[in-house]
């Protein structure tokens, strides 16, 4: 049996990067997964891949900046399953600019995608978890929430907000059987890496050098492994915490 056998998981940002890796690993561990994203063709391809492996996946297109679409997502989940065991929030965007160049549009995009959507998703799915008397919520923040990082000002601020509200929500709902935790990834090799780094070997090496202990970038599966742990019953005594997965980042770099 898998570590998540017969659990129902909702994964946002599931059509790329960390979300995709988590969704596929959840299926591998026995979960039935609702994949949430905006890329319909990628979502359909992932569902086919999951079906071919003998797993069960459902793709729901949803713009998490839109409250009404989140409610439609909830209705689609309710039509298929009678409860949700795991909510994994990982959808996010990155604006990488000097502070004085970041504008209102950048701020709104980061606020609505990287923070408000997490709040709305928790408010939407927690009532069902309360009714079931159990549930695990895992929010993806970032080491930017606790370490200073140039050019990621709004991003880091919203990730800090995610970490903060996760701990507060954990405190309110712990006695109702719901656990809420954050994963704080360091530099991960995903599509969110800014183009100027992807196209510049010196910049790439500079990012790798910040991981001064292990000396490499993380891969999406490096986040999926702790996501499995936090979604499983193995972590039944773990709530209200941040798990930093950064390969040993050194702030001095």
- Rounded to whole angstroms, the Cα distance separating 175 from 170 reads 9
Pair of tokens at residue 185: 């990834």
pLDDT band at 253; cut points 50, 70, 90: very low
- Rounded to whole angstroms, the Cα distance separating 84 from 201 reads 43
Q: Assess whether pLDDT exceeds 80 at residue 126.
A: yes
pTM: 0.93
Which pairing describes strands 8-12 and 32-37: parallel, antiparallel, or unpaired?
parallel
- Domains of the chain: which residue ranges? 8-190+220-244
Rounded (5°) CA angle 245-224-53: 165
Q: Assess whether pLDDT exceeds 50 at residue 107.
A: yes
- Does 26 participate in catalysis according to the annotation? no
Is the separation of the CB atoms in 126 and 170 below 8 Å? Answer: no
DSSP code per residue over 173-185:
HGGGTEEEEEEEE
- Rounded to whole angstroms, the Cα distance separating 18 from 11 reads 10
pLDDT band at 250; cut points 50, 70, 90: confident
Is the separation of the CB atoms in 121 and 129 below 8 Å? Answer: no
Q: How far is CA 127 from the centre of its chain?
A: 20
Query: How many beta carbons lie within 10 A of that of residue 67, not counting itself?
Result: 12
Q: Assess whether pLDDT exceeds 80 at residue 59.
A: yes
Pair of tokens at residue 196: 């100027």
Tell me which of 115, 118, 155, 225 is the catalytic residue: 155
Which residues on adjacent β-strands are paired with residue 242? Answer: 182
- At residue 193, the pLDDT reads 61
Fold that domain 8-190+220-244 belongs to in CATH: Rossmann fold (3.40.50)
């Amino acid at each position: 049996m898998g570590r998540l056998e017969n659990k129902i998981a909702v994964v946002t940002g599931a059509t790329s990067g960390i979300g995709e890796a988590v969704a596929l690993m959840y299926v591998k561990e026995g979960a039935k997964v609702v994949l949430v994203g905006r890329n319909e063709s990628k979502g359909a391809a992932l569902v086919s891949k999951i079906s071919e492996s003998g797993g069960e996946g459902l793709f729901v297109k949803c713009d998490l900046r839109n409250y009404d679409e989140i409610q439609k997502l909830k209705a689609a989940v309710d039509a298929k399953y009678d409860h949700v065991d795991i909510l994994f929030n990982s959808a996010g965007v990155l604006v990488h600019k000097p502070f004085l160049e970041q504008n209102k549009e950048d701020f709104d995009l980061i606020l609505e995608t990287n923070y408000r959507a997490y709040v709305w998703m928790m408010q939407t799915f927690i009532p069902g978890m309360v009714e079931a008397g159990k549930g695990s919520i895992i929010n993806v923040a970032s080491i930017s929430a606790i370490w200073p990082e140039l050019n990621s000002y709004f991003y880091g601020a919203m990730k800090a907000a995610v970490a903060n509200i996760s701990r507060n929500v954990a405190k309110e709902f712990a006695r109702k059987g719901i656990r809420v935790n954050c994963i704080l990834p360091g530099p991960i090799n995903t599509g969110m890496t800014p183009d100027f780094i992807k196209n510049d070997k010196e910049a790439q090496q500079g990012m790798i050098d910040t991981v001064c202990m292990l000396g490499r970038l993380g891969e999406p599966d490096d986040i999926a492994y702790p996501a499995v742990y936090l979604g499983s019953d193995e972590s039944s005594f773990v709530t209200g915490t941040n798990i930093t997965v950064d390969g040993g980042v050194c702030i001095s770099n």
